[in-house]
Amino acid sequence: MAATDKAAWRAQFEKLGVEVVRMYLTQDNYGGNPPLQTAAIEWLAEKNTEAHSRSESSQALQMRIALSAKRAAWVAAIAAIIAAIAAIITIVVELQK
């Protein structure tokens, strides 16, 4: 298989997209050309790896956002408690006058 063939096939796979290439493989449309079939499988494996990496990155970002929100909620709760204590102290001081 020539490198130019492989590059041309990969360009065609990009145009077709993952779902179409996967469908072609399941329907054995590449069966008469084992190098093309192998190239399609390799390309799909790369796309799956890329998708998995994107998913992991997204999950990591979501986790950081959730932890940040949790910290913000704790800060808000502590501020509310401090405000309530300050209000109680103010009321007690005013009542003692």
- In the chain, the number of structural domains is 1
How many percent of the chain have pLDDT more than 90? 73
- Residue 60 belongs to some domain of the structure: yes
- Residue 19 belongs to some domain of the structure: yes
Q: What pLDDT score does 26 carry?
A: 84
Q: What pLDDT score does 1 carry?
A: 54
If you average pLDDT over every residue of the chain, what do you get? 90
Q: What is the pLDDT of residues 49-66, one digit of tens each?
A: 999 999 999 999 999 999
Boundaries of domain holding 7: 3-71
The pTM assigned to this predicted structure is 0.61
- Residue 13 belongs to some domain of the structure: yes
Distance CA 27, CA 5 (A): 22
- Residue 97 belongs to some domain of the structure: no
Label residues 78-95 b or e (16+ Cβ within 10 Å = b). eeeeeeeeeeeeeeeeee
Q: What is the pLDDT of residues 24-44, one digit of tens each?
A: 888 877 767 888 888 999 999
Amino acid sitting at position 19: E
- Residue 95 belongs to some domain of the structure: no
